[in-house]
Structure 1
């Protein structure tokens, strides 16, 4: 009898251990497979970004969308704060105007993100795509206005990071719009 108890405890322990070892790997594969299928994003940056949030380990594709929105919101907020800090430096009038425009665009983008999550949860993917596309347009406008007069943008890294995170979010929303609920290297499952 004692040997049966120890065998069943050992079997239960092994099954529990196997579950915890396999589940994060499967979710990590979801992140990597999603990043591979997002053609417009850098794979390494995508995987690093999504995996930096612990919620991605337990997320399905829709959950990765929520993670990507939070990452983008954080990027928008930190860039807005960065712009506020560097505006106190001495800049020529044109660069100061560009920075002011960028500050306003990043503020508008942050406000738009407040509407994204409820719309996403309600399955209003077309609205989410429109809002995220607007965020990407603002980022592009912010960066390009500096070069119009031969200026070097002091926001190139921040704009590039925003573009990357926004593109990841938009890619995931596109998958959801297409009815994709999960994917792996060999197949895409559609609802």
Structure 2
């Protein structure tokens, strides 16, 4: 009874949304219900719809992959670029403004986490009694805080672009992004080649942000080179 009840619900559905070729593949859902055959028909419908949905999703994902790969061609660390920006593929598509803003936004988020990580390291035992490392870490934190400030200013400017002031705004963003990258590079200067297990981990965290910043700067430069014609509004 439950199976027949469920089938009756299916039978009452409007099936006009099905692709035009389905009626030729399966008998009418409105024919007299025979328990075994109707179950087969319903199964066939669901299988076909599942296949169609899977193909649509696969095509959409491939298209998204193409967009992010194309956008990341201008970056120095393309694998990282693709990994970090792939969630934006279907929304950014071929819009250089959206790609630049997405890249800076991702970098801001990562820089925040690393700044907090560096601050927490002041309490770590590997710094106790090592004034040189402690001083290097304090300098690194200061560099990252300045870098984060420049990243925030860059993101704010990208979010408020105006076609009439586009060139001047992009010059500001490029200046701030370059300063952010310089600050992150300077952070590592006091760690003497990042020797030691704990210091190597710290350096890797910092380096990851420098790579993201470098990629973001490349996408900002791409937007600036295209000019105001790429402006699509806030």
TM normalised by structure 2 equals 0.63
Give the SS at the match of 1:98: helix
Deviation above 2 Å: which 4+ runs of structure 1? 5-9, 16-28, 54-57, 150-155
| Match runs of 1:1-191 below 5 Å | 9-10=18-19, 22-38=59-75, 40-41=76-77, 43-51=78-86, 54-59=87-92, 60-90=95-125, 91=127, 92-121=130-159, 122=161, 123=166, 124-147=169-192, 153-154=199-200, 155-179=202-226
Q: How much does 1:48 deviate?
A: 0.7
In 2 relative to 1, CA 25–84 (structure 1 residues): closer, same or farther, beyond 3 Å?
A: same
Q: Distance in 2 between matches of 1:61 and 1:130?
A: 18
Q: Distance in 2 between matches of 1:117 and 1:135?
A: 12
Instruction: Check conservation: 1:73, 1:113, Cα contact below 8 A.
Output: yes
Q: For structure 2, which runs of at least 5 residues remain unmatched after alignment?
A: 1-13, 21-48
Q: Distance in 2 between matches of 1:8 and 1:88?
A: 62
Q: How much does 1:55 deviate?
A: 3.0
Give the SS at the match of 1:10: coil
**Structure with more contact order per residue of length (Cα contacts < 8 Å, sep ≥ 6):** 1
Q: Distance in 2 between matches of 1:163 and 1:26?
A: 29
Tell which structure's C-alpha radius of gyration is larger.
2
Q: How much does 1:65 deviate?
A: 1.3
Q: How much does 1:26 deviate?
A: 3.0
Deviations 1:122-146 (A, max 9, x none): 1311111111111111111111222
Deviations 1:97-144 (A, max 9, x none): 111111111112222222112322413111111111111111111112
Instruction: Check conservation: 2:144, 2:183, Cα contact below 8 A.
Output: yes
Give the SS at the match of 2:124: coil
In 2 relative to 1, CA 24–126 (structure 1 residues): closer, same or farther, beyond 3 Å?
A: farther
Q: How much does 1:22 deviate?
A: 4.6
Instruction: Check conservation: 1:24, 1:58, Cα contact below 8 A.
Output: no
Q: For structure 1, which runs of at least 5 residues remain unmatched after alignment?
A: 182-188
Q: Kindly tell me the number of residue pairs found equivalent between the two proteins.
A: 173
Name the Cα RMSD after superposition.
3.1
